[in-house]
Each structure stands twice: as C-alpha cells, then as structure tokens.
Amino acid sequence: VLSFIIFICYIASLAASFMMAPLLEFLLALFLFFAYASKLNEKFKGLYWPLKDFLRCITAAIIYFAISIAAVSKYNDGASKAAGVFGFIATIVYAIDFYITFNDLVTFLKQDSANSPERRKSE
C-alpha cells in the first residue's frame, strides 16, 4: 500500500521520473503476496522463497532511500516532498522487513544444512 501511495505522489509531482521504482516495487510485492497466499512457495520447492523476499526487501530499502533523498533535495513542490517523506517511511518499513526476513532466512538455511547429505553420512 505504501508503494502505491508513493507511486501516486510521484505521478502528481514534478519528480515524475521516479515513479517507476515504486510501481515496480508495488507489483513485485503484489506478486509475492499472491504467491504466498496461493501457496506457490509450497508447490515450487526448488526456489528459495525467503531469499527472494530478502533480496526484494534490501533492494527496495536502498532504492527508496536514494530516490527519497533526490526527491526531497531537488524538487520543491508538495507532492515531491510527500513522496520523499513516504519514501523514508517505506525505507524504515523495508529495513524492518529485511531484519525479520533475514532471521527467517537464517533459520531456513540452518534447517536446510541440518538435512544435508554430508551430515547424514557423518552420522
């Protein structure tokens, strides 16, 4: 939702060139939401879903931080300032999600390494 609000703010602002990043992030988040809701992560076991979510969070936080700094410092209209402020909020939200996903990823990788064939051979 936050990505969609930022996208709308960038459309209404002078910084319309930044609108692609929130749109892509919104669509990616929507795809992952529907993938988890329809349990695609259980059907496609070959893909590391926590890693995909981890990479999405870290890249989104970096991109939102960069375009928010540019929007707040370069443009003087209210919509650009609002998009920048929402972008900083999104950076914090994605950083928190990054932390939570990182912990899930670590437990996922520890679980996977405990079931590895090398460990079974040593037992």
Q: What is the pLDDT of residue 85?
A: 92
| Residues 56, 29 contacting (CB under 8 angstroms) | yes
Distance CA 9, CA 15 (A): 9
Distance CA 49, CA 20 (A): 24
Q: What is the Cα 28 distance to its own chain's centre? A: 8
The three-class DSSP label of residue 47 is: coil
pTM of the model as a whole: 0.76
With a cut of 70, list the residues of the chain below it in pLDDT. Answer: 112-123
Name the residue ranges covered by the structural domains of the chain.
Answer: 19-114
Q: What is the pLDDT of residue 101?
A: 85
Q: Which residue is associated with the tokens 């939570």?
A: 100
Distance CA 36, CA 7 (A): 24
For residue range 77-110, what is the model confidence (pLDDT) as tens digits?
A: 888 899 999 999 999 999 998 898 888 878 877 8
Q: What is the pLDDT of residue 112?
A: 66
DSSP structural state of residue 16: G
Q: What is the pLDDT of residue 75?
A: 87
Which distant-in-sequence residues (6+ apart) come within 8 Å of 116 by Cβ?
none
* Residue 101 CB neighbours (<10 A): 21
